[in-house]
């Protein structure tokens, strides 16, 4: 069988894995910065342990081609750590190794993957009073040195349930109740079996760059630097983000909704309606508290930022409502209106304009307008025409009253270059909005915040913009790169972080997006992302509770019926 791998033509022999072929081609060096980690055939990602041609497929009485090989035409793309798919596979492998090592040392304790903090993962630990991060790090190194092959196998659901029941992992037992298929896929070693909903690396020896930091009630596992994978990332303390995650976890525990199994049981019992009411009340209370803080400071401008599909527009409007309760006269502004004309923006090395770059915003004009407004002057505000690709002047003038507060919404809202350094810092209040979802598959598997945002965006783009699933997913990597450059580095600069997630929304959003996802052809480039979203939603029970969701809800920004869009 002929393969085309990274520009190399290769005749595959029976039972050779992709990893064997990569080594034979000289593409393996033992360095994380250059070594392939996973492969993509057509629209699916595979482990490097994948065998393109099996002996049984070329036996005298049988001649078949594996589906993935047939769909790809033999073309194999390799992903390294510089690609999000490679980084995700590395992180899953790290999780497996961490839980395996932890189980060896503390068999009666529980470790839980709680949240990601930049290029780090926080794990909480319960039931291990003698826990030592240094001791765990030593055990992890042993697992890495053992070079344990990470081979996946399918087992019947009944066998998986029996295994996790015996292991005392009731969170997994309850989750498997909702699995539609009669098998479960696992990676296992020494009686420890787990699955992380995606491909992993060929063996434990691939975990080359990492470190650990002691943390309250657990530890932080630090991943490689995306720009220099042969080095470990510099750990950055993120107290504000960590505090919001912790608050969300405590609240989800109080509401009895920590995992997908919990959510499904609330749906089946009808108690999800109470979850909706309490979640929406929590949001309203938080907006009220933020408005209190703005008024106490005497701020004249609120800079509101957040990544794509965080609910920024609804958050800005709900905050404006709460400011009116204080007798304020809020004025909504968008940083989009300060875009520079498209023909005046220099393209990047790839010949394309990076619309996420801060240089696409006329920061000088915005800063001048802000200063003039604070000084009581009347200012003409531009309007950006996306149809024309340039700024237009429509006579839109603004002047602040004594009780006015400007709410400026935009992805660059926390960037220091927007606000002149000589302005009184008390006059500007910064809000960061992000759906920091505390809900997990189970204790070993988080549902990433980025996944929730992608589900939201896919539904919104289709419902309100007529965009296909493929178009939204094709843009997603570019959106994420822009966020990593221009949003996430400034999130700790916020005066307050608002968690815009709701524990119930997966049960609602499923019916809107599932039919769209299942129509995507396996040959599409984005198919692996589609499979991941479908895999998540397959564990979620539908909830017909739209009548319970208020018209001002952030969820309404994505499924429709939002008052602020009428």
CA–CA dist 221, 210 (Å, integer): 7
Do 444 and 521 lie in one domain? The reply is yes
Domain boundary among the residues 219, 240, 261 is at 240
Residues 235 and 245 in one domain: no
CA nearest to 531, candidates 435, 451, 449, 462: 451
Torsion of CA 87, 88, 93, 95, to 10 degrees: 120
Contacts 24+ apart (CB under 8 A), 399-404: 399/373, 400/300, 400/331, 400/373, 400/374, 400/376, 401/329, 403/327, 403/328, 403/329, 404/300, 404/328, 404/329, 404/330, 404/331
Verify that 196 and 309 share a domain, yes or no.
Answer: no
Asked whether residue 76 falls in the same domain as residue 110, the answer is no
In this structure, what token pair is assigned to residue 354?
A: 């990076």
- According to DSSP, residue 331 is labeled E
Which H or E run includes 142?
A: helix 133-145
Instruction: Write out the two tokens for 383.
Output: 């309007």
Q: Which of 260, 156, 226, 274 is nearest to 540 (CA)?
A: 260
- How many domains are there within the chain? 3
Query: What angle in degrees, to the nearest 10, is found between the helix axes of 505-517 and 527-537?
Result: 140
Q: What is the pLDDT of residues 359-388, one digit of tens each?
A: 899 999 999 999 999 999 999 999 999 889
Residue 145 near residue 205 (C-beta atoms within 8 A): yes
- Out of 198, 221, 240, a domain closes at 240
User: Domain check: are 246 and 210 in the same one?
Assistant: no
Q: The tokens 């609330």 sit on which residue?
A: 266
The per-residue pLDDT for 287 is 98
Q: Is 32 helix (H, G, I), strand (E, B) or coil?
A: coil
- Which residues have C-beta within 8 Å of that of residue 59, sequence separation ≥ 6? none
- Tell me the C-alpha distance between 190 and 104, whole Å: 9
Can you name the residues that pair with 434 across neighbouring β-strands? 499
Q: Cβ distance 491 to 116 under 8 Å?
A: no
CA terminus-to-terminus distance, the chain: 58
Identify the H or E element spanning 452. helix 449-465
Taking the C-alpha atoms of residue 455 and residue 439, their distance in angstroms, rounded to an integer, is: 15
Residues 207, 166, single domain; the answer is: yes
Put simply, whether the predicted model's pTM sits higher than 0.75 gets the answer yes
Specify whether 446 is located in the same domain as 501.
Answer: yes
Sequence length of the chain is 566
**CATH number assigned to the domain comprising residue 374:** 3.40.50.300
Domain closes at, from 49, 80, 111: 80
Query: Beta strand 2-5 with 75-79: parallel, antiparallel or unpaired?
Result: parallel
Residues 447, 546 within the same domain: yes
33-52 as b/e, with b when 16 or more CB fall inside 10 Å?
Answer: bebbbbbbbbbbbbbbbbbb
* β-sheet bridge partners, residue 183: 156
Instruction: Please give the structure tokens belonging to residue 51.
Output: 């065998």
SS3 of residue 222 by DSSP = strand
In CATH, what number is assigned to the domain containing residue 93?
Answer: 3.30.980.10
Same domain (yes/no): 231, 299 = no
Contact present, 502 and 310 (Cβ < 8 Å): no
**Which residue range is the domain that position 467 belongs to?**
241-565
- Are 468 and 527 in the same domain? yes
In the prediction, which pLDDT does 560 show? 93
CA 543, CA 548: separation in Å to the nearest integer? 11
Residue 311 Ramachandran class (φ > 0 left, ψ -120 to 50 alpha, else beta)? left
- Beta bridge partners, 521, equal none
Residues 467 and 438 in one domain: yes
Q: Taking the chain (566 residues) in consecutive chunks of 10 residues, what is each chunk's mean pLDDT? A: 91 94 96 97 95 84 78 94 96 97 96 94 96 97 97 95 94 94 94 93 97 95 96 94 94 94 97 97 97 97 96 96 97 94 82 81 95 95 91 94 95 94 94 96 94 96 89 91 91 97 97 95 92 96 97 96 85
Whose tokens are 């997994």? That residue is: 172
Q: How far apart are CA 26 and CA 335, in angstroms?
A: 49
E-only strand ranges, 6-134: 8-11, 38-41, 44-47, 75-79, 110-117, 120-126
The reply to whether 207 and 308 lie within a common domain is no
Question: What CA–CA distance (Å, rounded) separates 18 from 78?
Answer: 10
Task: Compute the distance between CA of residue 454 and CA of residue 475 in angstroms, rounded to an integer.
Answer: 11
- The Cα-based distances of 564 to 221, 311, 314, 416, 433 in angstroms read 41, 12, 7, 29, 17
The CA distance from 509 to 555, in Å, is: 9
Alpha carbons 230 and 472: distance in angstroms, whole number: 32
Q: Taking phi first (over 0 means left), then psi (-120 to 50 degrees means alpha), and beta for anything else, what does residue 394 get?
A: alpha
Half-sphere exposure of 86 (CA within 13 A, CB side): 20
Q: What are phi and psi of 220, to 5 degrees?
A: -120, 125
């Amino acid at each position: 069988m002929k393969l085309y791998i990274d520009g190399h033509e290769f005749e595959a022999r029976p039972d050779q894995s992709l990893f064997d072929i990569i080594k034979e081609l000289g593409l393996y060096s033992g360095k994380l910065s250059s070594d392939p980690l996973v492969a993509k055939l057509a629209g699916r990602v595979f482990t490097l342990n994948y065998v393109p041609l099996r002996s049984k497929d070329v036996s005298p009485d049988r001649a078949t081609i594996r589906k993935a090989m047939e769909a790809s035409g033999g073309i194999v793309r390799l992903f390294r750590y510089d690609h999000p798919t490679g980084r995700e596979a590395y992180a899953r492998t790290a999780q497996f190794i961490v839980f395996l090592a932890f189980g060896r040392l503390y068999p009666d304790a529980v470790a839980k993957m709680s949240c990601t903090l930049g290029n780090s993962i926080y794990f909480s630990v319960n039931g291990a009073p003698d826990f030592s991060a240094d001791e765990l790090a030593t055990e992890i190194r042993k697992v890495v040195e053992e070079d344990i092959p990470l081979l996946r196998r399918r087992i019947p659901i009944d066998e998986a349930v029996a295994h996790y029941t015996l292991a005392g992992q009731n969170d997994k037992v309850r989750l498997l109740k909702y699995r539609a298929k009669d098998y479960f896929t696992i990676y296992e070693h020494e009686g420890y079996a787990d699955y992380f909903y995606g491909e992993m690396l060929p063996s434990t020896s691939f975990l080359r760059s990492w470190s650990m930091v002691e943390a309250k009630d657990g530890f932080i596992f630090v991943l490689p630097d995306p720009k220099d994978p042969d080095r470990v990332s510099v750990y950055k303390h993120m107290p504000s983000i960590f505090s919001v995650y912790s608050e969300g976890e405590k609240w989800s525990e109080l509401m009895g909704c920590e995992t997908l199994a919990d959510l499904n049981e609330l749906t089946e019992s009808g108690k999800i309606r109470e979850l909706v009411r309490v979640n929406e009340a929590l949001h309203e209370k938080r907006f009220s508290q933020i408005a209190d803080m703005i008024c106490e400071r005497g701020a004249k401008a609120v800079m509101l930022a957040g990544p794509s599909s965080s609910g920024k527009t609804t958050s800005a409007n709900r905050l404006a409502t709460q400011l009116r309760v204080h007798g304020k006269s809020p004025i909504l502004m968008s940083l989009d209106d300060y875009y520079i004309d498209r023909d005046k923006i220099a393209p990047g090395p790839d010949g394309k304009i990076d619309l996420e770059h801060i240089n696409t915003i006329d920061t000088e004009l915005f800063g001048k307008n802000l200063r003039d407004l604070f000084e009581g002057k009347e200012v003409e505000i531009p309007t950006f025409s996306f149809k024309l690709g340039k700024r237009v002047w429509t006579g839109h003038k603004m002047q602040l009253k004594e009780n006015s507060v400007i709410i400026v919404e935009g992805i660059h809202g926390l960037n220091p270059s927007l606000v002149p350094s000589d302005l009184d810092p008390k006059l500007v209040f910064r809000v960061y909005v992000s759906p920091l979802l505390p809900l997990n598959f189970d204790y070993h598997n988080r549902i990433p915040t980025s996944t929730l945002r992608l589900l939201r965006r896919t539904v919104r783009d289709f419902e309100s913009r007529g965009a296909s699933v493929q178009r939204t997913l094709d843009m997603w990597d570019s959106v994420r790169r822009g966020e990593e450059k221009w949003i996430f580095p400034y999130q700790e600069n916020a005066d307050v972080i608002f968690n815009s997630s709701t524990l119930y929304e997966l049960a609602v959003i499923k019916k809107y997006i599932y039919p769209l996802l299942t129509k995507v052809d396996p040959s599409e480039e984005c198919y692996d992302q589609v499979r991941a979203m479908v895999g998540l939603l397959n564990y979620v029970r539908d909830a017909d509770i739209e009548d319970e969701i208020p018209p001002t809800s952030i969820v309404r920004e994505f499924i429709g019926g939002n008052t602020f869009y009428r």
